[in-house]
Structure 1
Amino acid sequence: MTDKNFIIKFGSLIKEETLEVIDSKILPHTIVLEATNPFPGYYEYYEGIQKDVTPHYIYLVTDKKYDLEQFTRTTQKIMADTNKKYHAAQGTITIFNNVYHVIRIRRLTKYDQIQDLQSCYLEEGISLKSNASIPHNSKAMIQLDKFFALEEIGDGFYLDTVEANHGYFKIPKQLSWSEFEDLTKQVKYNMDLLHFDASIGFIYDHFKAVDIIRIYAENLNLDLLKKIRLKFVERIK
């Protein structure tokens, strides 16, 4: 990777996953969720492969949406004070038409860290929601607003330099979630022996919102991303 190809973009991703409620090792009267099986479109073909990887994606439910600067500065300070290198992003989750504001956390090494991290955010002025009841194993629509650290490997094709096995490509138009779901099913049906998980989103590029698809699969490279993109673009009306 060269500095020329390494770029930082801000944008958003939308995906659907099942979230489990965490009942222990959290602050009392708070809500914490976990995606115990992230990237279901890929791992559904490899049963059990994720069982020993814990914690997974953790979602701290906050009382409201906080502005990006406050969230970013608070997260920076917590990481500096605790010498932790976790990853955090803001977003929303929608469960049964109820919308919750969340902080998505990656790369905690044990569940015991969740309560301490909650306390750190509280001490820095980010409050946690306490007056909602979310069912166990709830299917959720997740939207994350985040920075992407990308290596451009082709015109409109990227690999994530932070998150392994993540690739992205540009698409010609914005898709609704239902359109994207249907397209993904069609693409997978026509790609024998190639399993992947996909989500939609956008990045800001040259003052425009550019639509993208995120692909998760092992051993991603430009050739595979080109093959997947071709199948999507052929079907986008």
Structure 2
Amino acid sequence: MTKRELIGKIIIQENIDTVDANKIDKTFVINVPDPYKSYYTRFTDVEKPTSIIFVTKQPNSFEKILRVTQKINKEHNLDITGAKCEVKIGSRKLSGVRVKGINRYTEIIAIQEHYKNEGFEFAKSEKFKDTDSIIRINRFFNIEELDEGIYKSHLEDNTYYVQVPKFMNWDDFRKYTFDIKNNITDRNYDIAKGILYDKGGIIEMLRIVKPKATVEFLKTIQQKYIDKLQ
């Protein structure tokens, strides 16, 4: 099977919480729940955060975040991944660094200190729970092709990507997703939209999170969106 490493962007909608302990005092840190767990229930496994966002005063370039994360991993024997992200809550837009690979909730403050020591400035603390947001993340994708236009992630468990032929704006994506989920037998999956940058241009794709998803299931979801886009 063909393996590829590409840069791209993912857009997800999640209910998020602030992290109110184990962080640098008076800074703004967000916990993003596991997408599959959050489909059923609120994220409760705080001992091992799935995804943490350090909200910054100003946007930082993707290149800077990658370089600093690489340096932190090398100097502190860590295996975290950092990505550029934007969090939209209502009309507000927040800039941040999305970090994955933190083993325990109590490790957040040490990793945040590493970014601070490299010149990252964090936004002033806020506090909220279960707040609707749209998160845009610029990141690397390491994928393996399972079938034509069907891919599996090598970085994240139970995560798959399917290619679609056309761009969907966010409103259309939400509308199509609502219609499809209400007309399919197996609704137990999480879905988001995004793009991959290829040498041939932009690839429009959907990210699907589902344990042990079959190629047949992924093709079914893919075809339903293709039908909507015709």
Scaled by the length of structure 1, the TM-score of the pair is 0.90
Aligned counterpart in structure 1 of residue 163 of structure 2, from 154, 164, 170? 170
1:96 to partner: Cα distance: 2.1
Q: Tell me the equivalent position of 2:68.
A: 74
Match of 1:44 in 2: 39
Large movers: runs of 4+ above 2 Å: 42-45, 50-54, 132-137
The 2-side partners of 1:161 and 1:117 are apart by: 24
Q: What pairs up with 1:1-237 in 2 under 5 angstroms?
A: 5-36=2-33, 38-39=34-35, 43-45=38-40, 47=41, 51-52=44-45, 54-130=48-124, 133-237=126-230
Instruction: Give the aligned residue type for 1:157.
Output: I
What is the CA–CA distance in structure 1 between the aligned matches of 2:200 and 2:39, rounded to whole Å? 38
Root mean square deviation, CA, Å: 1.8
Q: Percent identity?
A: 24
Question: Tell me, what secondary structure is at the counterpart of 1:147?
Answer: strand
Separation in 1, partners of 2:38, 2:114:
33
**What SS does the aligned partner of 1:233 have?**
helix
Contact 1:188 1:195 in 2 (8 A): no
Q: Return the letter of the residue paired with 1:39.
A: P
Residue 206 of structure 1, CA deviation:
2.0
Offset at residue 59 of structure 1 (A): 0.9
Tell me the matched-pair count. Answer: 229
Structure 2's unaligned 5+ residue stretches are none
Q: CA deviation at 1:20?
A: 0.5
Q: Whole-Å Cα distance in 2 between the matches of residues 43 and 227 of structure 1? A: 23
Question: What TM-score comes out, normalization by structure 2 length?
Answer: 0.93
Deviation at 1:83, TM superposition (A): 0.7
Q: Separation in 1 of the partners of 2:200 and 2:95?
A: 26
Q: Secondary structure at 1:44's aligned position in 2?
A: helix
The 8 Å contact of residues 55 and 97 in structure 2, kept in 1 or not, is answered as yes
